[in-house]
């Protein structure tokens, strides 16, 4: 039935289902990775675990935006972008701290935990693939999942290099790259969200002008 809103409701329910799964997977992987990252003294794993935490928060914010106006969705994406920005800076500070420490990352932990996280994020990417060109809050979610897959591959590669070279610098380098990916993603999301807000405001102004014009004509 045309105009009943059934299609919109179905779309919103689909978004909620996907976001609930993404939230559950990322929250679980945060706990898993932060424990093993701490035990293995791995900068890359800790950076990746914090990325998972930020994503879980982002998906919770996106869930709030489902079914709401474009302004709500753009604001949700904006908050998500700021979370990512803060996370990237936090990881850089941790890397700076570890540069002056004497931690020795455990390569086997890095490789195996990185592989588990990679599988989890590939599942997330598959779940959200239909929404990568959708509304702004869903585009932001897609970007997070895509960045996570790259970060997980980086953790695995870092673990292999640490094992082969018996040096900790690959762990620090990959941790730094993950933080740069996060900061880059935050910039893209913030830019996208601000553009959506500007478009929404312009649309509202045009709509108000049209209403005033119609009102004058009717007189």
Domain spans in the chain, listed from the N-terminal domain onward: 9-203
pLDDT in tens, 83-129: 888 888 888 887 887 777 666 788 888 899 999 999 998 988 888 77
What is residue 5's three-state secondary structure?
Answer: coil
CATH node for 9-203: 1.20.1510
Tokens of 124: 């997330």
**Which pLDDT belongs to residue 204?**
67
The model's confidence at residue 73, banded by pLDDT at 50, 70 and 90, is confident
pLDDT at 1 over 50: no
- Residue that has been written with the tokens 């897609």 in this structure: 142
Give the separation between CA 70 and CA 195, rounded to whole angstroms: 11
Burial 83-116 (b: 16+ CB within 10 A, else e): bbbebbeebbebbeebeeeeeebbbebbbebbee
């Amino acid at each position: 039935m045309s105009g009943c809103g059934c299609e919109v409701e179905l779309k919103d329910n689909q978004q909620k289902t996907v976001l609930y799964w993404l939230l559950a997977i990322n929250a679980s992987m945060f706990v898993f990775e932060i424990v093993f990252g701490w035990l293995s003294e791995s900068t890359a794993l800790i950076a990746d675990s914090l990325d998972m935490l930020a994503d879980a928060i982002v998906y919770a914010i996106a869930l709030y935006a489902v079914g709401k106006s474009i302004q709500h969705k753009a604001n949700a994406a904006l908050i998500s972008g700021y979370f990512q920005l803060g996370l990237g800076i936090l990881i850089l500070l941790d890397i700076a701290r570890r540069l002056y420490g004497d931690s020795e990352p455990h390569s086997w932990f890095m490789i195996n935990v990185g592989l588990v996280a990679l599988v989890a994020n590939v599942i997330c990417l598959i779940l959200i693939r239909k929404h990568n060109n959708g509304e702004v809050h869903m585009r932001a979610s897609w970007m997070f999942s895509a960045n996570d897959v790259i970060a997980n591959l980086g953790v695995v590669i870092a673990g292999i290099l640490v094992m082969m070279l018996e040096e900790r610098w690959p762990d620090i380098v990959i941790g730094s790259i993950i933080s740069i990916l996060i900061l880059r993603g935050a910039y893209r999301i913030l830019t996208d969200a601000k553009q959506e807000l500007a478009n929404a405001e312009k649309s509202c102004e045009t709509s108000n002008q049209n209403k005033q014009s119609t009102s004058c004509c009717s007189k």
